């Protein structure tokens, strides 16, 4: 039998949980890879006093999903996030017991994406896992299972799951709703977990932040209870975060599953997304059909490498499938798959040009460019600059701050000057300042600091420092990352000042280091 859900939890010690969540689960993966919480984690180990309790707001930012719908993400106050991670660490044995109770009776692992210990990694959560030896393929096993032969597949998901999670429902899941309500004002371990969650959202009890890995763990506390109830009713399904695929014998059973799922979710005030529910008659391919069409591509040429024509065919096919199905995750898949192929010199040039063009059209691809295009294909820095300048101009017209951040990041990472900043930096800075977008402000500050050899008193940096001082006095919570990095310790209050005096930064050292080398080509 494959490893059970709780086996994965038992492999993680309380200290490993704490480090994984705090040091490696603070900043969302979709951000430009500029930020790190590792120095903050190390600082927390030596801080002489615990951080203050209380409410704080948080930084918000939008990322574009591959369905062209933005998602609102969050970066919490670091001191409040540390308290949340510490509370989960201190009660990890109780939480693991909860997972045992909810999942040990299942013959397979219903939930597929969850915290786990990875070989040689301190990070404990990823959105996708590819170790088939550990994870297996339960979908094929569920075609014929202990309740009979599956003839239909019922699909459903929770409507905006994390933003709809009620923090009081975490104690409901851990000890039962009746006991939780009777003891709601008591200083119990489960109420402390509830409280640190609402503290990160300015006291709000409705919603978890999307981005920090604590939210993934907390959602599992609730959704494993739902899984237990539905499994005991005889339903056999898999769940990926909040997406459900249930294998049933009849159309009527599929409808019963959807009703029972909705009822079980409602016990925790979670709504079912009726727009995405569907019932599909089996058999269907377990893998999506487009994966089969791309699986044998790209073809290897006579040279033993993937040549220009084969690269072209592969990309054309992926683009055609994405357009026909409306599933632009296909482009993500194609970019990642092609990186693993041995391309000829002309094939690399073509792949780079076409994928960079797609990134200009579909900004949700920008986060893939460095790892899967620029570096493996040895893209000239001049070409990265052309792309970045184009993205910047287009993004300003759309007020697309995410794309602006990536164009600035590429300039910082590959050490070139953006045309808009070079031609009229005052106008460009004024646009950024008016945006009042925290991430755009900090990325612009980093850019001009690097251009001026990290001199805070440089003429191009001073206007941004003044904005940081203003925001520190009026809205520190929602701009803390920008204010903290831009201001000196003497301008910061309380715990921020102490941390700054200790030399802690949330910007990766290699970004600050002007001697950082890149693997892209320079003219």
Q: How many helices (H) and strands (E) does the chain have?
A: 26, 8
Task: Report which of 443, 356, 364 is spatially closest to residue 405, judged by C-alpha positions.
Answer: 443
pLDDT value of residue 145 = 86
Cα within 13 Å of Cα(484), Cβ side: 27
In sequence order, the 6+-apart residues with CB closer than 8 A to the CB of 301 are 307, 309, 310, 344
Give the residue-averaged pLDDT of 28-44.
96
Q: State the distance between the two ends of the chain, measured CA to CA, in whole angstroms.
A: 56
Q: What percent of the chain has pLDDT over 70?
A: 94
pLDDT value of residue 67 = 62
Structure tokens at 324: 């026909």
pLDDT value of residue 64 = 82
Least confident of 130-134, 211-215, 370-374: 130-134
Phi-psi group of 36: left, alpha or beta (phi > 0 → left; psi -120 to 50 → alpha; rest → beta): beta
Domain boundaries, the chain: 5-281, 287-379, 386-504
pLDDT value of residue 516 = 41
Q: Looking at the predicted structure, is the pLDDT value of residue 102 above 90?
A: yes
CA distance 253 to 275: 19
Using CA atoms of 391, 392, 394, 399 in order, give the dihedral in degrees to the nearest 10: 120
Higher pLDDT, 131 or 378: 378
CA distance 296 to 300: 10
Predicted confidence (pLDDT) per residue in 459-492, tens digit: 999 999 999 999 999 999 999 999 999 999 999 9
Higher pLDDT, 325 or 124: 124
pLDDT value of residue 288 = 59
Predicted confidence (pLDDT) per residue in 276-289, tens digit: 999 999 987 554 56
Predicted confidence (pLDDT) per residue in 506-515, tens digit: 999 999 885 3
Confidence bin at 522 (pLDDT 50/70/90): very low
pLDDT value of residue 519 = 46
Least confident of 185-199, 209-223, 330-344: 330-344
Taking all residues of the chain, what is their mean pLDDT, rounded to a whole number? 92
Least confident of 75-84, 282-291, 346-355: 282-291
CA distance 22 to 214: 9
Least confident of 162-166, 178-182, 323-327: 323-327
Task: Report which of 308, 300, 302 is spatially closest to residue 341, judged by C-alpha positions.
Answer: 300
Confidence bin at 413 (pLDDT 50/70/90): very high
Which residue carries 């599953």 as its tokens? 257
pLDDT value of residue 518 = 42
Confidence bin at 272 (pLDDT 50/70/90): very high
């Amino acid at each position: 039998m494959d490893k059970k859900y709780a086996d994965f939890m038992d492999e993680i010690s309380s200290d490993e949980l704490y480090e994984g969540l705090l040091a490696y689960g603070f900043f969302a993966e979709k951000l430009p890879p500029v930020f790190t919480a590792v120095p903050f984690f190390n600082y927390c180990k030596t801080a002489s006093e615990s951080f203050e309790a209380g409410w704080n707001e948080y930084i918000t930012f939008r990322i574009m999903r591959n369905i062209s719908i933005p998602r609102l993400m969050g970066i919490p106050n670091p001191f409040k996030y540390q308290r949340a991670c510490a509370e989960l660490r201190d009660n990890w044995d109780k939480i693991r017991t909860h997972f045992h109770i909810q999942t040990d009776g299942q013959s397979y692992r219903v939930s597929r994406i969850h915290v786990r210990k990875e070989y040689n990694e301190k990070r404990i959560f990823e959105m996708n896992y590819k170790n088939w030896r550990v994870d297996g393929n339960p979908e094929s096993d569920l075609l014929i299972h202990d309740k009979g032969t599956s003839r239909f597949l019922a699909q459903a998901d929770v409507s905006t799951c994390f933003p709809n999670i009620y923090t009081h429902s975490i104690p409901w899941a851990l000890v039962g709703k009746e006991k939780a309500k009777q003891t709601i004002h008591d200083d119990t371990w489960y109420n402390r977990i509830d409280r640190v969650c609402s503290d990160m959202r300015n006291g709000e009890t409705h919603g978890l932040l999307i981005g920090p890995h604590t939210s993934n763990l907390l959602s599992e506390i609730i959704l494993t209870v739902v899984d237990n109830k539905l499994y005991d009713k005889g339903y056999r399904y898999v769940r990926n975060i909040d997406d459900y695929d249930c294998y049933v014998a009849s159309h009527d059973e599929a409808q019963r599953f959807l009703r029972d799922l909705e009822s079980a979710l409602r016990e925790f005030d979670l709504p079912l997304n009726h727009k995405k529910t569907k019932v599909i008659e089996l058999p269907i391919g377990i893998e999506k059909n487009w994966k089969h069409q791309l699986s044998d591509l790209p073809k290897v040429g006579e040279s033993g490498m993937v040549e220009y024509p084969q690269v072209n065919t592969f990309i054309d096919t992926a683009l055609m499938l994405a357009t026909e199905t409306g599933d632009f995750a296909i482009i993500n898949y194609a970019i990642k798959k092609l990186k693993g192929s041995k391309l000829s010199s002309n094939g690399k040039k073509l792949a780079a040009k076409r994928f960079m063009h797609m990134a200009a059209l579909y900004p949700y691809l920008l986060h893939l460019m460095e790892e899967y295009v620029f570096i493996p294909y040895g893209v000239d820095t001049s070409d990265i600059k052309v792309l970045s300048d184009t993205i910047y101009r287009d993004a300003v017209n759309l007020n697309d701050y995410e794309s602006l951040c990536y164009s600035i990041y590429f300039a910082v990472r590959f050490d070139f000057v953006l045309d808009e900043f070079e031609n009229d930096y005052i106008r460009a800075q004024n646009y950024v300042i008016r945006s009042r977008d925290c991430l755009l402000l900090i990325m612009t500050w980093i850019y001009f600091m690097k251009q001026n050899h990290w001199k805070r008193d440089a003429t191009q940096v001073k206007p941004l420092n003044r904005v940081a001082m203003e925001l520190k006095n009026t809205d520190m919570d929602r701009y803390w990352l920008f204010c903290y990095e831009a201001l000196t310790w003497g301008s910061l209050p309380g715990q921020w000042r102490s941390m700054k005096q200790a030399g802690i930064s949330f910007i990766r050292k290699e970004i600050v280091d002007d001697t950082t080398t890149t693997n892209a080509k320079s003219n």
